[in-house]
Amino acid sequence: MVSRAKDWFNQAVRDLEHAEDSRKAGRHEWACFAAQQGAEKAVKALHLSFGQEAWGHVVARLLQELPENITVPKELVEKARVLDNFYIPARYPNSHPSGAPFEHYGPLQSEDAVSYAREIIEFVRVQMA
């Protein structure tokens, strides 16, 4: 079977670009979600590059389940945990006590989300090289 790792990684980069564009446009909730998606797809690409299947959407767990010969910095796992908080609440109004998601996310959240996703994607790029 042909590895699709590069396809997943290329989509991760594109999702990060979408996150950056959304951030610049003030759509911070979408920036946060797209950043999470970029990080998730990048780590799944890394799993695929080692011939592993990766399931789920929790980036921190996906990082922790990489082969033992890959040293994942603890700080990167912590940043993934921040991104994991954007998977559902950034999209669904019933994830918050009141208000639409766009009312709960601003430039501070989206700046961190984009930065953390960029770090995870770069970590994956280096590992896949």
Task: Give me the amino acid identity at 17.
Answer: E
Q: What is the mean pLDDT of the chain?
A: 96
* pLDDT at site 72: 97
More confident residue, 53 or 39: 39
pTM for the model: 0.96
Total number of domains in the chain: 1
Contact criterion met (CB below 8 Å) for 110 and 19: yes
Task: Give me the amino acid identity at 108.
Answer: L
Q: In CATH, what number is assigned to the domain containing residue 78? A: 1.20.120.330
Q: Over pLDDT 90: what percentage of the chain?
A: 96
Task: Give me the amino acid identity at 15.
Answer: D
Give the structural domain span for 122.
5-128
